[in-house]
Amino acid sequence: MKYAFAAVVPLMMAVQSYGGEISPPYLDPSLPVEDRVEDLMSRMTLEDKIAQMCQYAGLEHIRAAEKEITEEELLNGHARGFYKGLHSDGVVRMVQEGKIGSFLHVTTLEEANYLQSLAEKSPLKIPLLIGIDAIHGNGLYRGSTIYPSPITAASSFSPELWEKACRQTADEMRATGSHWAFAPNIEIATDARWGRVGETFGEDPYLVSRMGAASVRGLQTGDIGNDGAVLACVKHLLGGGSANNGTNAAPVELGEGKMRNIYLQPFKAAIEETSPYTLMPAHNEVNGVPCHCNRWLMTDVVRGEYGFDGFIVSDWMDIEALSRVHHVAEDNTEAFMLAVNAGIDMHMHGPEFAEALAGLVREGKVPEERVDEACRKILYAKFRLGLFEDRYVDPADAAGVVFSREHQQTALELARRSVVLLENDGILPLSPGKYERILVTGPNADNQSIMGDWTFDQPRENYHTVLDGVKEMADGAEVDFVDVGWNLRNISDDDIENAAAAARRADLAVVVLGEDSFREHWADKTCGENRCRTDITLWGRQQELLEAVARTGVPVVVILVNGRPLAVPWISENVSALLEAWEPGSMGGRAIGEILFGKVNPSGKLPITIPRHVGQITATYNHKPSQYSHPAIDIPKTPLYQFGYGLSYTEFEYSGLELSSSEIRPGESVRVSVSVTNKGTIDGEEVVQMYVGDDFSSETRPVKELKGFRRVALKAGETARVEFEIGTDDLSYYGSGGRLLLEPGKFTVMVGSSSMNNDLLKAKLELK
């Protein structure tokens, strides 16, 4: 195998002798992994073991930060990192001495290989574990396939296709030197003000559980010992998507029943079904206890109850935040003690931790067994991933994997299924030849915002914008583009006037609006990590731009490219069509073009409720019965668009809802079936959704909860019989005291095209 540098020596040839041993047992791949781990640990000092618990930012990341960032920016930000008193050259020496076990923010395979070569010079030659924020593709690596963002993928209601995308992401990660994805984010997102909605799967615990489990299966290929696997990291434990004021890391108060019924459910499902190997706590506190020192969550619940058997990594600077932000520790040393004793196994990121933890162990404040436990799990992952045998990557191999045709096709298919048609007065699909001149404008029409957060600059030939998609599919029409710039904050009077003037000459206007999550626009981005808002209307002068175009009388199609729900009641009432594209990734523009011109029939459904106004937060579909008993006087009580909603170019009719039995007893299951007919003239796909509501209960329950969904493809005129199964687990819930309850009584089973009552057929089921 050829490498990116010449000085690499095969591992077995480079092994130093250990007391006369030519090759110690831990370097023998024929031995069981457990034996290799124990042999290696027997040779390690306390400091060696703690080193495996230490993660640092990549050298190039540190070097860039050394030039550009202040200490205050480091402490108050979540994207850049340097180490006061430790130059990047000192980090190089630490790796050679075996004092660092893991890196993150390593974004080139050349740097990954270089770091591994440094680690191979260390006394024990332990390879490095390299993690990266591969949230929807390995987007921090230039040239990667960027899949639709999680909120976009959730709109597809296609866990199997998302699992395939995650499998391919793992392939691209391993080909470029990374072994650990800081994904999936399985937080429940109920507050659209929160900037990180786009990296979640939405508001519903069942849908989030299905998509989260698919993520882990794809990344870990079912087992971390399989070829090409990477470690998955389920995060963030717990409640960050429902913070008190909608901002990242703000406090959360949750009763134990609600915590278990909603916020813990995706973690329980992922751990019990797919065994993710790593887990990350949340920035915030829950019920007065910061998550990074919450022993009940990390040790009692996810380890003790759910059986989590991997290691827990802190989030960026969040152990230090126990002292600096939360004030539950006097200093960093006490913070390290609290975190490790509560269950943290690896520190992200930087110095001070290792020396402080060694002192805490010697003082008896942290049991040495905790260090052994953490080190053992980290080493186990490195052995299972095969890093002791093959720590390097070959650039030639990467070239055949990254952004391959197969990966592009998966990204395209996922984008096609994820775009949600919210409004259509009949203008879509656009008729061939009807429009001679089409205007495309708007700040998101032709830039990389289409790929969402956690993406660095990509080659221009690797992504398709909405403008690209319209041009590709316009079928002879002249496409006039008015560039108003990408910056949502800087739309000018001239931009608005130029767009309106072009609209007067056009037969149709496609206006592309929304948010900007693109990481390269860090200073000006309006959505994504640490971009929370107090308002959820269109940022800046986008509304003015749209209204100026609409006043010309030209038919207007609006496309939203955004990572959070936006309150757009004016748009819903005043344009010909509205598409919620979210952040559809590298191939998103092509998918949008295909949908506009009828090459693809839209089939996406909303994974999160869209409010009419910020004042409606949290307007989730699975609310309690009394939530709207006294509505506000200034706007309707219903949200703008409800969970599960999405239009098609055809019409689907539901009929014949049947239960195999009207009664069910503990341990039994009931089959639910319904007929779905494509009544239109266009082939299409429908997401059939099943909900259950508890008619009467000892504690109030949501009016309905999603318990199943099926995506079915139907040709024009075709009928399919769709089946679900309900078990008594689907009828149980955790009471306010955290006790699991299964109460006899009547339940309403609902099946239809969305969570809206008018879209659902209903049947009764009695639990005896």
693-744: pLDDT as tens digits:
999 999 999 999 999 999 999 999 999 999 999 999 999 999 999 999 999 9
Residues 470 and 610 in one domain: yes
Q: With 80 as the cut, is the pLDDT of residue 67 above it?
A: no
Residues 83 and 125 in one domain: yes
Q: How many CA atoms lie within 13 A of 677 on its CB side?
A: 8
To the nearest whole number, what is the mean pLDDT of the chain? 94
pLDDT confidence of residue 349:
85
Q: With 80 as the cut, is the pLDDT of residue 74 above it?
A: no
CATH number at residue 86: 3.20.20.300
pLDDT confidence of residue 568:
98
Q: With 90 as the cut, is the pLDDT of residue 84 above it?
A: no
Tell me if 555 is assigned to some domain: yes
- In three state form, how does the secondary structure of 219-273 look? HHCCCCCCCCCCECEEEEECCHHHCCCCCCCCCECCCHHHHHHHHCHHHHHHHHH
Tell me if 516 is assigned to some domain: yes
Of 164, 689, 65, nearest to 412 by C-alpha is 164
207-229: pLDDT as tens digits:
999 999 999 999 999 999 999 99
Question: How would residue 8 be classed by pLDDT, with cut points 50, 70 and 90?
Answer: very low
Residues 437 and 395 in one domain: no
Count of positions (residues) in the chain? 768
510-534: pLDDT as tens digits:
999 999 999 999 899 999 999 999 9
Of the three residues 399, 433, 457, the one that is the final residue of a domain is: 399
15-46: pLDDT as tens digits:
444 444 578 999 999 999 999 999 999 999 99
Residues 394 and 450 in one domain: no
Task: Give me the DSSP letters along 610-670.
Answer: B-SSGGG-S--SS--TTTTSS--SSS-SS-SB-TT--B-SS-EEEEEEEES-SEE-TT-EE
pLDDT confidence of residue 64:
80
430-465: pLDDT as tens digits:
998 899 999 999 999 999 999 999 999 999 999 999
Q: Average pLDDT of 382-391?
A: 97
Of the three residues 594, 616, 638, the one that is the final residue of a domain is: 616
Q: With 60 as the cut, is the pLDDT of residue 243 above it?
A: yes
- 238-252, 270-284, 723-737: range with lowest mean pLDDT: 238-252
CATH number at residue 736: 2.60.40.10
Q: With 70 as the cut, is the pLDDT of residue 281 above it?
A: yes
Tell me if 304 is assigned to some domain: yes
Q: With 60 as the cut, is the pLDDT of residue 108 above it?
A: yes
Is there a catalytic annotation at residue 315? yes
Tell me if 3 is assigned to some domain: no
Residues 669 and 600 in one domain: no
Q: Which residue in the list 133, 315, 318, 730 is annotated as catalytic?
A: 315
* Residue range(s) defining the domain that contains residue 556: 419-616
> Residue 691 region, left (φ>0) first, then alpha (ψ -120 to 50), else beta?
beta
Tell me if 637 is assigned to some domain: no
Question: How would residue 70 be classed by pLDDT, with cut points 50, 70 and 90?
Answer: low
304-360: pLDDT as tens digits:
999 999 999 999 999 999 999 999 999 999 999 999 999 999 999 888 999 999 999
Tell me if 149 is assigned to some domain: yes
pLDDT confidence of residue 72:
60
Residues 115 and 57 in one domain: yes
182-214: pLDDT as tens digits:
999 999 999 999 999 999 999 999 999 999 999
Tell me if 700 is assigned to some domain: yes
Question: How would residue 63 be classed by pLDDT, with cut points 50, 70 and 90?
Answer: confident
